[in-house]
Amino acid sequence: MSTTTRKLSVLDSAFLFAETPECPMHVGSTTIVRLPDGYDGDFFEDFRGLIASRLHLAKSLTYKLAQAPFEIDRPSWVEDEDFDINRHVFRAALPAPGDRATLQRLAGWLHAKTLNRARPLWEIYVFEGLPNNEAGIYSKMHHALIDGGAGAALTEILYDTSPQPRSVPAPRAGVGPPKPQTARDVTSSMFAAYAEVMRLPFQSASERKTIELPRSGGSDLSSVLLDAAIHQLEWPLQLGASLPDILQSLSTATSALLKPNALKALELLNAPPTPLNVAISSERSYSTVSLPLGRAKAVAAKAGGKVNDVVLALSSGMLRRYLLEIDALPKKTLTAFVPISARDQGNAEMKNQVFGMICPLATNVEDPRARIEEIVTQAGNAKELANPFRGLVPILTDMPTFGTPMLFQLLATFYSRSNLANVTPPGVNVVVSNVFFSRKPFYIAGAEIEHIYPMSIPVHGQGLNITVQGYRDQLDFGLMAAANVLPHVEHLVEMLPIELEELERAYGLTA
């Protein structure tokens, strides 16, 4: 019997509750590495051995789910006492012609398969024998365990900054899984929590914000009920201590809404229906492309924006071009949900700390220059409306959900089976995410990482996800689509370099 390591937050749990066969809730990447010249070893064995030797640096990779009895509360992470790396790192082979395009098709197929919830929620497949002395690494990890910021931190733990793998401290001897809780432990937790509550009148507001009452840590029914009761008491205390911050956030947001352009910005957030915004199938279509970061920065400087604005403009131009091709471009602009990290600098905690904003994409604007400048303006407005709520993410994602998990899962299944996405207006048209990783090169098992192409999640009503990873001097785009919506997503990928050239031409940046 394992003991609770950490209960999932509301946001972490939401990715589990929302999962259906059509909507697997894991993220991942297809990484291209170049093997050292003259390498004659077994890269798969070297890779697996390296991961195995560093698992103690990322203990979350050895956690599995423990459902609460009768699913009356959020699940918890527990140590997998039977962890076996051979169930998570696999040698894979590519069919002919064994190139990157073949790797992308196979990675898209693998990405459509849900992870086994009886084990830690991640898998890695190593594909050797690509042309030009390259290998491919497809990895996926459930979004309940990780977000983009945590993923970058995890990569820095497991990867190296030089071809020679660095030495890492060995795991501490004698540190094993925590012992199962006894009835005496549960009783002790109850009295410890009571004693902590008695100290509240003598604590400052900042202490009450971060109060964590003792828990039993058990996974049996009595322990879960006790911990749920403690959480029901703890969360209002945290909420009350954070009330000044909440009021300040509401005041700031209200001030932003009263500005002259706010009503226009809000009206633009109403997404129009498109062929991309329907119920999706379980099959996936995936394609990638790399664009030079320097060229994107040059456009951003001319447009008065940032690289993220250029990413939105490239996505906008691509979607406009595609919808014009199929005679389905709405007169009203499409909108994008843009995730925003709520992490503090240096925070590598392995849980989701993210919120987001809705940004109009100006797809109704024909001129590329006018389009990106409209995006810069609207993205600024959207960020101004969203930013006041950034500090509230930690407390809102830990609110009590006792008794609701089963209901959430039933609602997700009903929404999926009923095809409601085909008849209800979309909340947004597309998800566009941009995560910057590193300007310096990274290595794994001596092989240089050339590209990290991200893979994310299409859902019912948003059949296309555009995710970008900034690495070295390039922007690595990964477009993941439901195959019933975009069976040949590579056709859209081919438009992205064209759209970058259009933006450069609009600002006179071409030779």
Q: What is the pLDDT of residue 91?
A: 96
Handedness of CA 107, 113, 117, 119 (dihedral sign): negative
Q: What is the pLDDT of residue 391?
A: 65
Task: State mean pLDDT over 466-472.
Answer: 95
pLDDT digits (tens, 9 = 90+) for 104-140: 999 999 999 999 999 999 999 999 999 999 999 999 9
* 488 carries an active-site annotation: no
Cα-based distances in Å from 235 to 199, 344, 394: 16, 21, 11
With 0-12 / 13-18 / 19 or more C-beta atoms within 10 angstroms meaning exposed / middle / buried, residue 479 is buried
Cα-based distances in Å from 384 to 17, 255, 259, 262, 409: 31, 10, 11, 10, 33
Rg (CA), the chain: 24
Q: Residue 12's pLDDT band (boundaries 50, 70, 90)?
A: confident
Query: Taking the C-alpha atoms of 502, 505, 507 and 510 in order, what is their torsion angle to the nearest 10 degrees?
Result: 130
Ranges assigned E (strand) in 18-157: 26-34, 63-66, 76-79, 89-92, 122-130, 134-142
Contact 346, 329 (CB under 8 A): no
Contact 208, 241 (CB under 8 A): yes
Q: What is the pLDDT of residue 56?
A: 86
Q: What is the pLDDT of residue 9?
A: 78
Contact 399, 234 (CB under 8 A): no
Handedness of CA 312, 318, 320, 323 (dihedral sign): negative
Three-state DSSP at 277 gives coil
pLDDT digits (tens, 9 = 90+) for 225-281: 777 777 777 777 777 777 777 777 777 767 766 676 666 666 667 899 999 999 999
Task: State mean pLDDT over 323-344.
Answer: 88
Domains and CATH numbers, the chain: 4-158 (3.30.559.10), 262-506 (3.30.559.10)
Closest CA to 215 of 232, 227, 229: 227
Q: Within 35-182, where are the H helices?
A: 43-54, 100-111, 148-158
- Phi and psi, residue 186, nearest 5°: -65, -45
Tokens in use for 476?
Answer: 């690595």
pLDDT exceeds cutoff 80 at 445: yes
The catalytic position among 143, 231, 451, 460 is 143
| pTM, to two decimals | 0.86
Rounded Cα distance between 135 and 449, Å, is 10
Closest CA to 398 of 157, 217, 231, 268: 231
Q: What is the pLDDT of residue 198?
A: 46
pLDDT exceeds cutoff 60 at 320: yes
Task: State mean pLDDT over 192-213.
Answer: 51
Q: Residue 147's pLDDT band (boundaries 50, 70, 90)?
A: low
Contact 94, 128 (CB under 8 A): no
